[in-house]
Amino acid sequence: MRIALGIEYDGSAFRGWQRQQPGVRSVQACLEAALTRVADETIEVTCAGRTDAGVHATAQVVHFDTGAVRPERAWLLGTNAELPADVRVLWRREMSDDFHARYSARARRYRYVILNRRVGSALEHHRVGWEYRPLVLEPMRSAARHLVGEHDFSSFRAAQCQANHAIRAVESLQVSQSGEYFFVDIVANAFLHHMVRNIVGVLLAIGRGEQAPDWPRELLERRDRTLAAATAPASGLYLVGVRYPDEYGLPELGRLPRFA
């Protein structure tokens, strides 16, 4: 039997999604340990998109195969009872064998949250990015339009990125503001390592007036990561949606983090 789960987690105290060596706290290891206890057999999960240390999720999707037969209540309440408080299973579905949490996905959506004020937040410092210099919304919006479409995002990938190529298709990239908070929402077929955080770093430089709104177009053409801005911190980044073909009947969007 193949089962899909929707997962929410606060990534602040994790070294990322992926299981690592013993003693290193990861979301995958915590989830697999909880599911193994519920199923009374070893469970290994596959996720829609691996998140880095400090990155959060409101709509991570995983799948696993099991011979254990458990009611939905056991998979939800039982697994959550075995999980730490910063990870929760939100829903569970039985899936056909052709479903794959990663390879069946058609698009992923991330939201980046920026607190823009002179003083950082004591309560939200693990959950938002912070910029103390004033940001201007319209140049950031104008700049974002250059990144929509299929491009070579070599200037926006981490040096340690292991993807075979840097071509990605961005469906939408929107920047909005509510009071002291700025939100960057991006949807793409797939993402390179640190791609969203590097895009946010570029938009921040433009919002501060350090670069012109057409700078992203130049960066795309140059294909050189060393020419772009610093990577935005992980604390403001959330995986908020994964889109699958309608036939699977899975929810596409999780809760959107808002602080205003």
Catalytic positions are 52
- Look at the block and give the residue holding tokens 């290193």: 24
Residues 219 and 99: their CA atoms lie apart, in Å, by 37
3-state secondary structure of 134: coil
Q: In one letter, which amino acid is 149?
A: G
Six token digits for residue 138? 């319209």
Element (H, E) at 186: strand 181-188
Residues 80 and 168: their CA atoms lie apart, in Å, by 35
Do the strands 149-152 and 129-131 form a parallel or antiparallel pair, or are they unpaired? unpaired
Strand partners of residue 183: 113, 176
